[in-house]
Chain A
């Protein structure tokens, strides 16, 4: 007859043997490969998450970099425009000043030339007037006067001429 609590070494042996065999078989064919695969998948997922994080950080860095570059470029462009405008203004001012100076030089030169020409014309006129006066006086007098008289006459004529002038 069966009893509820019976010492049964055969069952004890079979259970031990069967269970150890089951552990060995499952470890070899199921648990080992499965745990390995789970571990690999965990590593893959961890790596993917890490990569995604890195990519996000890189993207942000690139975005910040491009924003920085853009703003730098804007600043530089604005600087260039400002500088060009200033350069243009300065250049225009210089040109204007130079033109004014040139004009003044031209005017001065012209004045100087006019003065010179005038002086030369006056001197020429004076010489011609003297000659003419002498010849006129000679013709009028038709007489020889002393050298002293002649000289006095000449001086007198020049003096008159100077006054006329």
Chain B
């Protein structure tokens, strides 16, 4: 996605033959439309279950996380002495970081083993989904297809090339993750304090009755706003970084068309767009980590609040 030539197919595809920055950027960030899904599954109960690019990315990330983590952990546990080596060092440090710095301070010692697996999965899934979006895999595949493979228009490879590869930049994906947090909070609160008590804990006890007319709706809204904020924060951050990089790279083509000079376009590209895009990509690496951390931390905080309700 950070590759300059990646913008080229979209530019060529523009109806009037001119470069359309908005279409090009959206084409590289948004999901594929249902007009050309990767696998057609059909519509049931009014829901289109077609496997689009982002569904594919969610599957790919899940498979990648599951296979690599399970392989590493199984190999590690098969040893007679539990001394981590190689990638397991990083994984173990990550696991202990999530457990001791994110989950434990929020949910407490009693519930740490219950909620750590979910938080670890949140962290790794979001991290890998974010990170995969930074690597221009599909742009490279597009180049390979265009100049080497020359597959047909309906090939599986071609269908993979449409749409953005960052699933976490899609609000539907982050909304699904936030919904899991939403229900995890209710389950955690009900498990720790009882179902009725969990809902009672939403508002403080012993206030004047009229205050409850104000507080109950406020707390209910707050309950819904939290996952909404999780949804927006993650998706907007991931989409934003990619849009910024693509916008900066679009200057190359905009200036080429404006001045009708390839030289000017190349100059803008190498003198301005490329360094800035590289810098923003560097920043994105941090954003990728921070957003995975923030989503996991806030989920743990919300779950912890439900468990230790001090109203």
Does B31 lie within 8 Å of A18, measured CB to CB?
no
Known A-B contacts A26-B120, A41-B82; A16 and B96 likewise in contact (beta carbons under 8 Å): no
Which residues from A are CB-within-8-Å of B82? Answer: 37, 41
Nearest Cβ in chain A — how far from B7, in angstroms?
Answer: 15
Give chain A interface residues in 1-53, CB to chain B under 8 Å: 1-16, 18-23, 25-27, 29-35, 37-39, 41
Contact of A11 among B27, B29, B95, B172 (CB under 8 A): B172
Q: Which residues of A contact B125 (CB under 8 A)?
A: 19, 22
The one of A3, A15, A20, A33 in contact with B30, judged by C-beta atoms closer than 8 angstroms, is A3
Is the beta-carbon distance between B170 and A19 smaller than 8 angstroms? no
- Contact (Cβ within 8 A) B163 A19: no
Are A23's CB and B48's CB within 8 A?
no
Interface residue? B278 (CB, 8 A): no
Q: Does residue B191 face the partner (Cβ distance < 8 Å to A)?
A: no
Interface residues of B in 32-77 (CB under 8 A from A): 32-33, 46-52, 54-55, 58-59, 62, 65-66, 69-70, 73-74, 76-77
Query: Are B47 and A35 neighbours in the complex by a CB distance under 8 Å?
Result: no
Secondary structure dominating the interface of B: helix
Chain B nearest Cβ from A1, distance in angstroms: 6
Please, how many angstroms separate the alpha-carbon atoms of A18 and B172 in the complex?
13
A34 touches B73 (CB 8 A): yes
| Residue B294 is within 8 A (CB to CB) of chain A in the complex | no
Within 8 Å by CB of A26, from B46, B54, B66, lies B66
Count how many pairs of residues, one from A and one from B, have CB atoms less than 8 Å apart in the complex. Answer: 136
- Tell me the residues in window 84-102 of chain B with beta carbons closer than 8 Å to chain A beta carbons: 92, 95-96, 99
B121 pairs with A33, CB closer than 8 A: no
Verify B62–A18 contact, CB threshold 8 A: yes
* Minimum C-beta distance from B26 to chain A (A): 5
Question: Chain B 204-217, CB within 8 Å of chain A: the 1/0 string?
Answer: 00000000000000
Query: Is B121 within 8 A of A11, CB to CB?
Result: no
> Which secondary structure characterizes the binding site on chain A?
helix
- Minimum CB–CB distance from A22 to chain B (whole Å) comes to 5
Bound form: Cα–Cα A31–B125 in Å = 13
**Chain A residues within 8 Å of chain B by Cβ, number:** 36
Q: Return the contact of A15 from the options B26, B49, B58, B95 (Cβ within 8 A).
A: B58
Q: Quick check: is B239 within 8 A (CB to CB) of the other chain?
A: yes
Out of A8, A11, A19, A34, which one reaches B77, CB within 8 Å? A34
- Tell me how far the C-beta of B243 lies from the nearest C-beta in chain A, rounded to whole angstroms: 8
Q: Is the CB of B55 within 8 A of A1?
A: no
A29 CA / B73 CA spacing, docked (Å): 8
Which residues does chain B contribute within 8 Å of A7, judged by CB atoms?
Answer: 172
Cα–Cα, bound, A30→B88 (Å): 12
Q: Is the CB of B173 within 8 A of A15?
A: yes
Whole-angstrom distance between the Cβ of B272 and the nearest chain A Cβ: 25
Instruction: Evaluate whether A33 and B48 lie within 8 angstroms (CB atoms) in the complex, with A11-B55, A11-B170, A19-B121 already known.
Output: no
Contact of B58 among A9, A18, A23, A34 (CB under 8 A): A18
The smallest C-beta distance from B165 to any residue of chain A, in angstroms, reads 13
Q: B147-185 interface mask toward A, CB cutoff 8 Å, 1 = contact, 0 = none?
A: 000000000000000110001001111011101100000
* Chain B residues within an 8 Å CB radius of A13: 47, 49, 176
Inter-subunit contact A19/B30 (CB<8 Å): no
Contact residues in B for A14 (Cβ distance below 8 Å) = 49, 51, 55, 58-59
- How far is B46's CA from A5's CA once the two chains are assembled, in angstroms? 19
**Which residues of B pack against A, CB within 8 Å?**
23, 26-27, 29-33, 46-52, 54-55, 58-59, 62, 65-66, 69-70, 73-74, 76-77, 82, 92, 95-96, 99, 113, 116-118, 120-121, 125, 162-163, 167, 170-173, 175-177, 179-180, 239
Q: Please list 25 pairs of residues, one from A and one from B, whose beta carbons are closer than 8 Å in the complex, sorted by A's number.
A: A1-B23, A2-B31, A6-B172, A7-B172, A9-B46, A9-B48, A9-B172, A11-B54, A14-B58, A15-B172, A16-B179, A18-B59, A19-B62, A19-B177, A22-B62, A23-B117, A23-B118, A25-B70, A26-B65, A30-B66, A31-B121, A34-B76, A38-B96, A38-B99, A39-B113
